[in-house]
A and B are shown apart, each in its own frame.
Chain A
């Protein structure tokens, strides 16, 4: 084990683990990259670190300056942890319907939390953060949905790591949130091997938390559209809360305790594996299961947990 000067140096270089025993197709291998081992607990540590360091480099973030973001949890945790280490105050707008562990974790790192209404979802949290950014032009608004440093973290980190550890990859399957992972990794892999197929998994957005009054309030992250996401991605599938929870439970068979977005990614992997004849699928586990224990994902009655998932934000 190496000696690290700072916990921030432990972000990235996560393990890629073969879990082909869960593949529904014996000719398709499946490997999963465990991002829950990052010190802030999720893949979002990568984007958080890159957004802060890029801002420090270009002068938009300086000593003592407040950082602002909106997040349903993981980006907030990464930013809160790094802000704490580097001495920046941090304010985050979080939808009120996230699991209690997430807000407690943010408090542990000293973040200031502003709650946004559950009914407005992640879009509502983002709009509030945008309004706050206008009110406080002296703050640094990291804006993960539009910050080029978000996909850059994956283009320079996650993507090269996957290529180094599994150059035989034929399909990359990942969830779609800010689109940072799919854009950064997808672009890197396609540059190395244009025949790698990039599959997006659209997670279950609970219909009661979609948070829109009209379709015109809908939102596609600039990270996706500014980087030609529609051309980069080859397929996109939706998965439901129930199959996501079932896959979260199945992952424990191979010793992986991961969050519900990992279950969703695996549900997408299963669809991909069933459709192709042979190949090697790489997917990403965005976080561990710790922050979701209170939601009874692993232990509760499946119908009850699946119904509850329609009203909570997991991503």
Chain B
């Protein structure tokens, strides 16, 4: 069977059929190709822009270093819960794999394949919040933390945080006892 040469249109159509986000970054660190909209960035608006544009400021240094490392080591790299900030301020999370395309002994392009895991990340956060909920005795007000010990709230605060407790009277109790009077 003769080798079937794919034309550019068909190659692009194949890439568009990939459900995951496929991003191609040039050695100049700009976007050369994007197969679908991601976090509100449309492919047409993204080509030629800095590939790190969607990375939120707080993660910028780390992501920049990771991209640089994948470029120089020419080894694939995985980023879990890769956070992206959309042009409209939305936040989305992706599990991303950086795959260098090596040619003539250097990384010519970086492919980034990303799967949207926003639902998973939000569910994990919600669970973490629930796990932090403190059970409190309805009668004596003692609390029951992760360590399984029932203790007074002030003891719990002193044990589990950097805060230390100092005692005083609140205005309502002060007037009830007449202490301030």
Mutual binders A and B: no
